[in-house]
Structure 1
Amino acid sequence: MAATPAWPPRSAPRLFVAGPLVQDAQVTIEGGQAHYLSKVMRVAPGDAVILCDDETGEWAGEVNSAGKRDVVLTLRERLRAREAVPDFWLCAALLKKPNFDLVLEKATELGVAMIQPLITRRCVADKLNAERAATIVTEAAEQCARTALPQVAAPVKLETLLRDWPESRALFFADETGGETAAAQFAAHSGPAALLVGPEGGFDEEERALIRAHPMARAITLGPRILRGETASIGATALWMAVSGDW
């Protein structure tokens, strides 16, 4: 006798929607998400769709109807509560659009709690499209089965970030001129933390001196090679997650 297939299947599409979601509620999906479900994934009545709301967690919904303009589901079961993520911020200088898009995507996949874009003197960009950034992190969270979206803050100048920095949060500064070994510094720390990464051309000397003078800043080295901004952000975040136990 054949085994009963698992429900919902692991291949079920996954979407973030507005919450809060509750047991047995009917949820109507419209717009681009409805097009994705009906035309790309070709869902039909009885199929499963996984919904997350960044509040209550992850739910299995059953498709009631799938039309051209909307898809209607009934929530059958809560699969997981909203996950707890490490209290880790990524403070990354703005880069060229494709490079910063990569930072947003991979930081989400790696589990950061917040992404703080920075404006520094050598930045090639000084603006961030908030709607585009939200779409990137949401799609990344859907892809990696994350149930908690990272916060993407509005860009701020480096001087503003340092002036308003919380006294309870360590600020690990990826300094290409040298510092303590990142892995050792991460392992020795417990509590809220953040990583500060510069732009394509790095911080200038005045900015570097300002950072090093900050009481919560800790200069770290990411190895013998000069890394691109997106590489430093992704690599150091992965290292933090490995050392802190999230991996």
Structure 2
Amino acid sequence: MMQKGRKLNIRLYVTCALGKCSIITLDNLASHYICHVMRATKFDKIKLFNGRDGEWIGEIFELSNNTKIRVNELVREQIITKDLTLCFSIVKNTVLQNVIRQATEMGVTFMQPIYTKHIATSNINLDKCRKWSIEAAEQCGRLDIPYIASPINFTDLKNLKTSDNNFIICDETGKGDYPSEILKNKNNIYVIIGPEGGFSNDELNFAYSFCDGLSLGTTILRVDTAVVSALAYVNEYYCML
């Protein structure tokens, strides 16, 4: 008699190729999560994705420190996410985790940490950021993982400007325009979010040499709140989620 397992509410990001009848071997960390945190048993089914091959249902056929899963069925075709870059000033980990998670949930494809004058810390753990991003993608149902780049100086952003992209700086001084005026019919958008202490006057003056200014309202927002607010506008006028 064929064994029948449960359909578990688990999505796992893997780096290997996914295809009908392929065998996936999980690492120790993922195996521990499957076996001891989620209490999976043999023949249980979970969802797998790798950012390239869509989302698949896989069946656990061996539970161990290197759990093995047989890939059975394609349930969602891979889609191409519209290019959207978030450039954000480096913040402390308590806020940084929210920034990474929210940017992942809201469709950012490329994250660029930046050094600005008023940052509270210059330290950023990119491995930890990538881990947070993967966890967010697993939880929100996204099919790909954003790329998180090494930090650069704020002034280096101008070197990334081309005729094909559009830089939007979130101006906390109130000088920015309304979203409907600057986001409509734009392609390849780069959203720039400042530090908790705000941009310096020199930084803002420099930014307006290659950026459009976006107003997020009359109140001063936390960095992670500003990320959500700005990306919500972008999704409305650009990504059309």
Normalising by the smaller structure, the TM-score range is over 0.9
2:193 alignment partner in structure 1: 197
The match for 1:115 among 104, 111, 116 is 111
Q: 2:155 aligned to 122, 143, 159, which one?
A: 159
User: Retained in 1: the 8 A contact 2:6–2:43?
Assistant: no
Which residue among 2, 14, 19 is the counterpart of 1:17? 14
Q: Tell me which amino acid in the other structure corresponds to 2:9.
A: A
After superposition, what is the alpha-carbon deviation per residue over 1:190-234, rounded to whole angstroms, capped at 9, x for unaligned?
Answer: 3111111100111111111110112xx101111111212221111
Matches within 5 A, 1:65-144: 65-67=62-64, 69-144=65-140
Contact 1:13 1:49 in 2 (8 A): yes
Residue 245 of structure 1: CA displacement? 4.7
Aligned to 1:236: 230
Cα deviation code 1:1-22 (max 9, x no counterpart): xxxxxx984x431111112112
Q: 1:147 & 1:25 partners in 2: Cα distance?
A: 19
Q: Where does residue 217 of structure 2 map in the other structure?
A: 223
Letter in 2 for 1:195: V
TM-score with structure 1 length normalisation? Answer: 0.90
CA contact (8 A) 1:90 1:114 kept: yes
Contact 2:84 2:189 in 1 (8 A): yes
Q: Tell me which of 167, 173, 189 is aligned to 1:171.
A: 167
Look up the match of 2:240. 246
Shift of 1:50: 0.8
**Aligned residues of 2:44 and 2:59 also touching (Cα < 8 A):** yes
Q: Please say if residues 19 and 54 of structure 1, whose CA atoms lie closer than 8 Å, have aligned partners that are also in contact.
A: no
CA RMSD of aligned residues (A): 1.6
Contact 1:19 1:55 in 2 (8 A): no
Report the AA paired with residue 193 of structure 1: I
Given the alignment, which residue of 30, 34, 41 partners 1:33? 30
> Contact between 2:187 and 2:238, CA under 8 Å: does it hold in 1?
no
Q: Give the letter for the 2:128 counterpart.
A: R
Q: How does 1:201-216 map to 2 (within 5 A)?
A: 201-214=197-210
**How far did residue 30 of structure 1 move?**
2.1
Question: What amino acid does structure 2 have at the position aligned with 1:137?
Answer: S
- Note if contact 1:30-1:71 (Cα within 8 Å) is conserved in structure 2: yes
Please give the per-residue CA displacement for 1:144-165, whole angstroms capped at 9, x wherever unaligned: 0111101111111011111232
Q: Which amino acid aligns with 1:181?
A: Y
Q: CA deviation at 1:189?
A: 2.6
SS in 1 for 2:172: coil
Which stretches in structure 1 are left out of the alignment for 5+ residues? Answer: 1-6
**Which ranges of structure 2 fall in alignment gaps of 5 or more residues?**
none
- How many percent of aligned residue pairs carry the same amino acid? 27
Match of 1:56?
A: 53
Q: Check whether the contact 2:102–2:227 (CA below 8 A) recurs between aligned residues.
A: no
Where 1:237 maps in the other structure, the secondary structure is: helix
Q: How does 1:183-194 map to 2 (within 5 A)?
A: 183-186=180-183, 188-194=184-190
